[in-house]
A and B are shown apart, each in its own frame.
Chain A
Amino acid sequence: MSDHENISGEMLNAFVDGELDAGEWESLAQRIEADPLLGGEVAALRIAKDRVRNAYAGLPAPAAAPRGRARPGRWAAAAAVFAAAGWFAHAWLFAVPELDPASAYVLANAPASIDSGHVLVHVSTGGQEALGRALDEVEDLLRAARREGRALEVEIVANRSGIDLLEARGAPVAKRIAALRARYANLSLVACGQTLRRLAAGGRKVDLLPGTRVAPSALDEVVDRLRSGWVYVRV
């Protein structure tokens, strides 16, 4: 990775973490788009990042009762607990739904929140394959919830080239998503206002599927939902 076309691992990490300035970002983005190997690296880093975030999503709450002042011996006691690693050993993630871990890596990590019934699916890339996969996931979730009588709310938020998913006269996926929506009232669609404005400035008017809500930006929507405890899945 580090010697690949002189792009260091640090640079790719900075790309994934949004740490590059606009110029650096643009030039690296172009190279990544042109080079499947680099694209693969970036995707793997994103997955690693999402995995870490999701692995800690259901942390147990801190002790509610106020504790006494520090006692001299408590660190030793804490060390004993530390060795036992009770938190890690217990099944804080039990009741994991049977999902394919390869395709649903994020979902598999956050069963507690799925049980609470709110999933945000973020689609930011076009391409029939990616979009089709995203819809497969969403449909599985919706179907399973209905079968088991669980309350579930799924929202798809699309930006960048992912906006194709929500275009009314778009590709076959748009037809599929319209059909899904007709079948499941608990599926909602949100388009990124920023992407729409950018496309409009370039002369492209996007005719959205009926019932699609427009958020100020995809990022705002994601942050809002995360704050309210939604499970976040990036496709």
Chain B
Amino acid sequence: MDYFHELHKRTAVRREVQRLRPAMYRVACGWCHDPSLADDLVQEAVEKALRNAGQARDPERLQGWLYSILANCLRDHYRAVHVHEDVDALGESLEDGGAGPEELCSRGQTGRQVRRAVSRLPLGQRQVLILVDLEECSYAEVGEALRIPLGTVMSRLCRARATLRAALAAGLLAERTTRLRSVK
């Protein structure tokens, strides 16, 4: 009897994990800003989830559990490559080296400006922001997924949005200045 129950549960978990895979990939991209790393992270998280399907409390509501596995995979990755371990301080070292300031100022690049600003946030803030804004998770779900108290979810989100607004305002200002210069 127990065996069949377990089997049923594992099947349900497998189905749900497949369904949520695109969402996991989106979140992973938002957290690390690198598609091939995101791909690896999701792969790793899916393997872990399927291996530990027995631990899932409710096979129909796996999202939070999967995000917490994903967060662990990301943390393990940063540890393995000796990137700073403190999630709150992590950030500056992770910004992309791609676009220079000139590129950032070109017209119609708001999306890139936003992603760049997000990538510069400390990891802890970035994780909360992505789950709330992209995945529309509730604060409680975010707290559960990242194993942090509700108050921390709120303060990280508040700081993340404040930084983002300042960065985007600065970006727009620079853009306008560049445009004015090119008109002169």
Contact = CB atoms under 8 A, between A and B. Distances in A.
B168 A85 contact: no
A55 interface: yes
Contacts of B99: 88-89
A36 B92 CA distance: 35
Interface string B1-34: 0000000000000000000011001100110111
B69 interface: no
Contacts of B111: 54-55, 93, 108-110
A129 interface: no
A51 B40 contact: no
Interface residues of B, number: 56
Contacts of B139: 14, 17, 19
Contacts of A98: 107-108
Contacts of A54: 111, 114
15 contacts: A14-B139, A17-B157, A45-B161, A59-B35, A76-B81, A78-B36, A78-B77, A84-B97, A85-B97, A85-B98, A86-B98, A88-B112, A93-B112, A96-B109, A101-B110
Interface of B: 21-22, 25-26, 29-30, 32-40, 42-44, 47, 77, 80-81, 94, 96-99, 107-112, 114-116, 118-119, 129-130, 132-134, 138-139, 154-155, 157-158, 161-162, 164-165, 168, 172, 175
